[in-house]
Amino acid sequence: MKEQQQEHPPEGNPLADEPKKCAKSRRPIAKRCAVDLRDPVLESTVESFAWDTVQRVKRLAELCKRYPAQAENVARQLLAWPVMSTMPSLETGEDFWNASFVFELGRDYPLDTSSRARIHRGSVMGRYLIQWIIRLHEFRLSIRFRPQEVPGQAKPDEETIRRCWGNEHEPEPGPKIVAVLRVALTLPALTKATSHEWSQRALVPLIMLSDAGSDETTCREPALQAIWRQKGVKSAGTFRSRLLSTVCQMVRKRARPA
């Protein structure tokens, strides 16, 4: 009988004791579920976070009743809203559905979410651009609704911009990216009518600074590699011109109507 080869996880792998079913799965969700649930520090963190969230959502419901206009300002920018559900039916309470801000939910969201929207989620470039649009939108919201140490402070400082834009998987944004983000904060809301301005002043500059590289060999983003491989694209200037044309066209299709 042949001996079966046993796979050994890398040394120091915290997932070593996890069930094989979770470890074998190649879906992204498997990575999230493959956690050592016996870690007491992790358990304490999750429990504290869950309890804190419950209290905040309860408090949010109370505040929305007292300040519906302020709730509307935020709800218009979002496609989801945190609510408390109760057992056994898990139906949301009537107070939520009767609140005026619910009918404003998603009204000012930058992407067209109607049934007739031309999203084309199968497009590599489409998915790539949607990620950028959502990230910029959430960045603007983080700045807009941030707690202000100085009431009425209009312009965020550089540290605030870095903190609101920062991503643990990326290096700290440099001065050039911060400069583009400052411009993004001054732009009108993204709609089909403003899509060209967003593409030219925010999306394309950020893409050029972040993912474009200097040629096909230094670019690691598949959606952009396709542009580098186009006939006649031999310089960063030509690449930027082709990129702008593509971004303008696709963002206009995906943005919400004016």
Average pLDDT, the chain: 80
From the number of C-beta atoms within 10 Å of its C-beta (0-12, 13-18, 19+), residue 221 rates as middle
Q: Average pLDDT of 165-179?
A: 91
What local confidence, expressed as pLDDT, does residue 19 receive?
41
Which amino acid belongs to residue 168? E
The count of domains in the chain is 2
Tell me whether residue 6 is in a domain: no
- Tell me the torsion sign for CA atoms 169, 174, 178, 184: negative
Output the CA–CA distances (angstroms, integers) from residue 254 to 24, 89, 175, 192, 244, in the order listed: 36, 36, 30, 8, 15
What local confidence, expressed as pLDDT, does residue 14 receive?
41
Tell me whether residue 134 is in a domain: yes
The token pair that represents 180 in the structure block = 């583009």
Q: Which one has a higher pLDDT value, 197 or 22?
A: 197
Tell me whether residue 14 is in a domain: no
CB neighbours of residue 130 within 10 Å: 19
Same domain for 183 and 77: no
Q: Any idea what DSSP says for residue 217?
A: T
Tell me whether residue 236 is in a domain: yes
Which amino acid belongs to residue 198? W
Same domain for 54 and 135: no
Same domain for 222 and 168: yes
Same domain for 135 and 73: no
Q: Is the pLDDT of residue 29 over 80?
A: no
Same domain for 224 and 139: yes
CB 238 within 8 A of CB 212: no
- Give the ranges where the chain is alpha helix by DSSP (H): 20-24, 28-33, 40-66, 68-75, 94-98, 124-144, 158-165, 175-186, 195-198, 204-210, 222-228, 236-254
In angstroms, rounded to a whole number, what is the distance separating the alpha carbons of residues 83 and 95?
A: 10
What local confidence, expressed as pLDDT, does residue 8 receive?
47
What local confidence, expressed as pLDDT, does residue 104 receive?
75
In angstroms, rounded to a whole number, what is the distance separating the alpha carbons of residues 194 and 187?
A: 9
Same domain for 134 and 55: no
Q: Which one has a higher pLDDT value, 19 or 144?
A: 144
Q: Which residue has the tokens 């089909």?
A: 192
For helices 158-165 and 175-186, what crossing angle results, to 10°?
A: 90
CB 71 within 8 A of CB 101: yes
Same domain for 245 and 184: yes
Tell me whether residue 115 is in a domain: no
Residue 81: give the domain boundaries: 40-104
Q: Bridge-partner residues for 91, per DSSP?
A: 86
Tell me whether residue 191 is in a domain: yes
Q: Is the pLDDT of residue 91 over 60?
A: no
Same domain for 136 and 96: no
Strands 91-92 and 85-86: antiparallel
pLDDT band of 98, cuts 50, 70, 90: low
Tell me whether residue 15 is in a domain: no
Same domain for 203 and 135: yes
Which amino acid belongs to residue 255? A
Same domain for 178 and 57: no
In angstroms, rounded to a whole number, what is the distance separating the alpha carbons of residues 174 and 162?
A: 9
Same domain for 240 and 138: yes
CB neighbours of residue 239 within 10 Å: 22
Q: Is the pLDDT of residue 193 over 80?
A: yes
Tell me whether residue 19 is in a domain: no
Same domain for 186 and 75: no
CB 34 within 8 A of CB 18: yes
pLDDT band of 101, cuts 50, 70, 90: low
